[in-house]
Amino acid sequence: MIVFAAATGLRPSELFGLERRDVDRDAGVVYVRRAYANGRLKHTKTRLSNRAVPLQAKALEALGRLPQSESEILFPNARGRRIDFRSFGRRHWKPAQTAAGIEPVRDLYDLRHTYATFALRAGVPVFAVSRFMGSSIAMIDRHYGHLANDSREHAVSLLDALAFERAVDAAWTLGTRHPRRLRHSKSASASEAFASARGRSVDAAPRDRHGSRR
């Protein structure tokens, strides 16, 4: 359960509200539809919280290690019922950290921060992280924006790569000729290729079938 929590970024209440039918292995997602807190099962926190979260390999491996159970609850307690957040933290989560020598002892909710940290450092767009975590983009940027401090350089590299792929000869006629992709040496940068394409003198005026300008 702990590995699954860190690999999905779910809130503890959402984690304890999961049922086996919420996992779609074929689609590779887990559907967050409800939350369990203070002994009550309820709808998720906000409209954004009702979502489909992609399951990375570690999450799927964690599900594969779950013991067989007849309970419809994905992570039941020893009696097959839903886990109480406070009881689990006091009796299991914090003592396990102490035994492992982890200082300072972390809250279960911190696994959500772990997910956000890993996702942003891996280059997952803030918009996608926001959707997966069920939080606003403003909240993600406020709490984790510093982790994406290289996002501008990453964005420029993506735009340059796109420009290189889309650089074409814009001249065209009504005949069978199609736009021709520009050739460029593999050693040249994408920005150089784009600049080369922009610098060409192109007559983009349409012509008739005889090649005369309209």
Residue 9 gets the label, from left (phi > 0), alpha (psi -120 to 50) or beta, of: left
Helical (H) or strand (E) element with 168: strand 168-169
Sign for the CA dihedral angle at 178, 180, 181, 186 comes to: positive
Helix (H) or strand (E) holding 87: helix 85-88
**Structure tokens, 86:** 């406070």
Q: Which residues on neighbouring strands pair with residue 82, listed in sequence order? A: 76
Give the DSSP per-residue string, 10-68: --HHHHHH-BGGGEETTTTEEEE-EEEETTEEEE-SSGGGSEEEE--HHHHHHHHTSPP
User: Residue 114: which H helix or E strand, with range?
Assistant: helix 110-121
pTM, two decimal places: 0.68
Give the tens place of pLDDT for each residue, 5-51.
999 999 999 999 999 999 999 999 999 999 998 899 988 766 667 89
**How far apart, in Å, are the Cα atoms of 50 and each of 6, 73, 162?**
19, 18, 33
Peptide bond preceding 67: is omega within 30 degrees of 0, i.e. cis? no
Q: Is pLDDT larger for residue 92 or for residue 187?
A: 92
What confidence tier does 188 reach under pLDDT thresholds 50, 70, 90? very low
Q: Which residue has the tokens 């501008």?
A: 152
CA–CA distance from 88 to each of 95, 122, 212 (Å)?
A: 10, 31, 80
**Cα–Cα dist 183/168, whole Å:** 9
- Residue 149: pLDDT band (50, 70, 90) is low
* Lowest model confidence (mean pLDDT) among 100-109, 155-164, 172-181: 172-181
**Domain 2-138 homologous superfamily, CATH:** Intergrase catalytic core (1.10.443.10)
The CA-based angle 51-92-33, given to 5 degrees, is: 15
For the chain, which residues make up each domain, given as ranges? Answer: 2-138, 151-199
The CB-based long-range contact list for 25-33 (8 Å cut-off, 24+ gap) reads 25/55, 25/60, 27/52, 28/54, 28/55, 28/60, 29/53, 29/54, 29/55, 30/55, 30/59, 32/134
Residue 4 token pair: 């699954």
